[in-house]
Amino acid sequence: MPSPAPAAATGPTGTAAPPPRAMTIAGSDSGGGAGIQADLKTFNALRVFGTSAITALTAQNTEGVRDVHLVPPEMVAAQIDAVLDDIGTDAAKTGMLGTTAIVEAVAERVRFWRQRLGPFPLVVDPVMIAKSGAPLLDEPARAAIREHLLPLATVVTPNRHEAEELTGLEIRSLADARRAAAALHALGPAWVVVKGGHVEEGSAEAVDVVFDGHEWHELRAPRIATRSTHGTGCTFSAAITAYLARGYPVLAALQAAKAYITDAIRHAPAIGRGHGPTSSFYPWEPGGAESEPEGEPPGGGRSVPDRGGTARAVGGERP
Ligand SMILES: Nc1ncnc2c1ncn2[C@@H]1O[C@H](COP(=O)(O)OP(=O)(O)O)[C@@H](O)[C@H]1O
Ligand SMILES: Cc1ncc(COP(=O)(O)O)c(N)n1
């Protein structure tokens, strides 16, 4: 039998329809529960093709961070360029960035590639400290996130501590979280989500406060009593990014991501001696697809102009 003709030397090599694409710019967690690893697993579970630019290696497990090795900013930029030049992306997210130089390099490349490719959505998860207590962003880089990255963000997803650091406000209640969300919105992101994992921790629900500059929303879900919360913020922001890549309007992406993270926490596997990871793959477990809406996303899917269309939906770079 003649062997099949070799693939052409140029052009796409696959034959299946291209899936939505999402890129994560974040640190590696050797323990697999947070960072790049959590992001790529989440993209995969939500049927989005994931790409990555690694900002740092961490020697980490469920008990803590043992060591951090930062990637030179030029190498972070080179990874972003290599991916976006060839593969492109339908959405991107940032996680652990480490230093001012890396924050600045990422912001510069996002601005550059948005001009080339069109204004793809960017989710900024302003990671500062690991749950285990290790710093993942140095002190001066907090100002760089405020100055350079927040103005580019379609969605910013600080937890309680990060929202306090970025605004200087103390957050003890949902009312405080709302005040912080308004202050963060003034720094430039189109949408702000102040996550409630660490707000009113004794309450029956984990409530995230959402503000788009005009309207207030809340993402509510039962609070699950568990130690398996390593990487919840990474998984949540990756799910938002995946749903944005699939064309969901922002609020629908936030709601779908909240359902996903809640189920991922609920189905967490027993792994490690410390704060264990969540389950990114529960949609594939028997009966596990309950929070994964099937069919066309709300608003009509990838063709909706909302995906990259309006400044408010995509965010950042105000005139
Ligand atoms: N114990 C929990 N039960 C249910 N949802 C939770 C729990 N802890 C956190 N969440 C949710 O997980 C998401 C990530 O929040 P959070 O843990 O505050 O982020 P981070 O990992 O950045 O500290 C949010 O939607 C939050 O409400
Ligand atoms: C590489 C990397 N990125 C992000 C986090 C935050 O996750 P968590 O707050 O759950 O420790 C982490 N621990 N490691």
Cα(163) to centroid(ligand 1), Å: 14
Predicted structure pTM score: 0.90
Mean pLDDT by 10 residues, the chain (319 residues): 50 82 98 98 96 98 96 98 98 98 98 97 96 91 97 98 96 96 98 93 93 97 94 98 98 97 94 92 66 51 33 36
Active site residue 229: yes
Residue labelled with tokens 């609920």: 266
- pLDDT at position 313 is 38
Cα distance between residue 256 and residue 252, in whole Å: 6
For the chain, the structural domain boundaries read 21-267
pLDDT of residue 13: 72
Is residue 150 within 8 Å of 188, Cβ to Cβ? yes
Report the nearest atom of ligand 2 relative to the CA of 29: 1
Reference 58, options 182, 179, 234; nearest CA is 234
Residue 222 CA: nearest ligand 1 atom is: 4
Atom of ligand 2 nearest to the CA of 159: 9
**Pair of tokens at residue 154:** 């379609």
Q: How high is the pLDDT of residue 310?
A: 30
Catalytic-residue membership of 232: yes
Per-residue pLDDT at 308: 32
**Ligand 2 atom 4 nearest Cα:** 35
* Residue ranges lining ligand 2, Cβ < 6 Å: 26-27, 29, 34-35, 58, 60, 95-96, 127, 130-131, 136, 230-234
Instruction: Check residue 288 and give its pLDDT.
Output: 62
Ligand 1 lined by 254 (C-beta under 6 Å): no
Q: DSSP for 253-264?
A: HHHHHHHHHHHH
pLDDT at 281: 80
CB atoms within 10 A of CB 129: 15
Find out if CATH 3.40.1190.20 is the number for domain 21-267: yes
Q: Indicate the helix (H) or strand (E) that contains 58.
A: strand 49-60
Q: Taking the mean position of all CA atoms in its chain, how far away is CA 132?
A: 20
CA atoms within 13 A on the CB side of 203: 16
Ligand nearest to the CA of 33: 2
DSSP secondary structure of 202-248 = TSSEEEEEEE-SS-EEEEEEEPP--S--BTHHHHHHHHHHHHHHTT-
ipTM of this predicted complex?
A: 0.98
